[in-house]
Structure 1
């Protein structure tokens, strides 16, 4: 799969399954929500979540740099809010910014996790208010 396919709920579940096989661990097949929930007690799930977040931080930084995202990077999706309690914000930010020699430029790029369950509707409501005026 492409890297952005791996950085989805389905990708987290696949990563968990691959790590379990590599580690020879006897763990049940899990979907993304189950991996997130099991990360507190299961070393394979915890490793999958940690690797998933590290890959996401790196790719988000790559894309911010490639596209000149000075206005910010907003991370959204179904699984990310479930992982926020496992997210080490400082480590995520450091990996996001680790783009030598552009690290200084990257430090000024805002980074946010979208937690609203339906952010598109917030934008549509704001757009509707703008067109009423």
Structure 2
């Protein structure tokens, strides 16, 4: 049986998997710490040596990379790995179909095959237009954003960009105070400064300062405080996080009318599904003044799949082999 080797490569971990061509559920998933390997190729060799399929039976290799892939040399921010497309092709073999995707490109392709059971609706609107554009956004270590344009024949078109670094706007005095606090440190405050793991920490510290408290918790510590239920600043931090997320998504919808829906991935929101369902997220998203009626019909979903990037790689691998 023909297989694809797929991988989601971050700065900290490299997730490898196998998938039969034209199937999309990742198999034999292994999460390898990048720090344990001098190069990507060392990690790949370790995975291939221990998986159930020989390299000769792999017809496609699709890598999702947390960063720009349109460079001559692809480098990683948090580890010393680097390689070129040519090196990847030569390593796996010139007879293999090889593709390098940005990590949110991969999530964009995942939408083509994502089961309905892996989508949770936020708000009262759930009707999508499958022919219309959609947005994917995800907060984790950073904030990723991609615009997806569906195609009748062939893979989705994923429009590249760095939407996580747009300017952050505010709509009330509390948000003004958060921005003023963060501006003293960062000068310019982007959406990623509040919509990421670091962003949770920033919001917490800024809200504490409003109460005359000098305190910063790490993102895991904020999570523990939320579980304990004894820290009102942590609770307010998560609520403000969801409100900022709604404001940013509303701005995306004003830029491109995403009647195909907005899909929220990343490591943070799925972890707090119950909390976002009860939050001011949708109200903030729709808080666009005269344009409220334009934004309100757009459906929003949380992507609950454990490996959406790998699923997107699997989908793209099928296109590669089909056109070969």
Equivalent pairs, count: 132
| Within-5 A mapping of 1:1-133 | 1-25=189-213, 29-39=216-226, 40-89=229-278, 91-133=280-322
Are the counterparts in 2 of residues 36 and 49 from structure 1 also a CA contact under 8 Å?
no
Is the contact made by 1:32 and 1:79 (CA closer than 8 Å) also made in structure 2?
no
**Native 8 Å contact 2:258 2:298 kept in 1:** yes
Which structure carries more strand by proportion?
2
Deviation (angstroms), 1:53? 0.9
**Contact 2:239 2:279 (8 Å CA) reproduced:** no
- Point out the more displaced range, 106-115 or 88-97: 88-97
Matched-pair contact (CA < 8 Å) for 2:200–2:238? yes
Contact in 1 for aligned 2:242/2:280 (Cα 8 Å):
no
Give the CA deviation at 1:132: 4.1
> How far apart are the structure 2 equivalents of 1:128 and 1:20?
48
Within 1, Cα distance between the matches of 2:214 and 2:279?
32
Question: For the pair shown, which has the larger CA radius of gyration, 1 or 2?
Answer: 2
Unpaired runs of 5+ residues, structure 2, are: 1-188
**Matches of 1:105 and 1:37, distance apart in 2:** 38
Cα distance change on mapping 1:63 and 1:4 into 2, 3 Å? farther
Alpha-carbon separation, structure 2, partners of 1:59 and 1:103:
14
| Alpha-carbon distance change, 107 to 21 in structure 1, aligned in 2, over 3 angstroms | closer
Structure 1 residues 19, 91: CA separation in 2 closer, same or farther (over 3 Å shift)? Answer: closer
Consecutive unaligned residues in structure 1, runs of 5 or more: none
Distance 1:64 1:93 in 2: 13
TM-align CA RMSD: 2.2
Indicate the SS of the match to 1:123: helix
CA distance in 1 between partners of 2:263 and 2:294 (Å): 17
- Alpha-carbon shift at residue 43 of structure 1 (Å): 0.5
More displaced stretch, 38-47 vs 76-85: 76-85
CA distance in 2, matches of 1:30, 1:73: 30
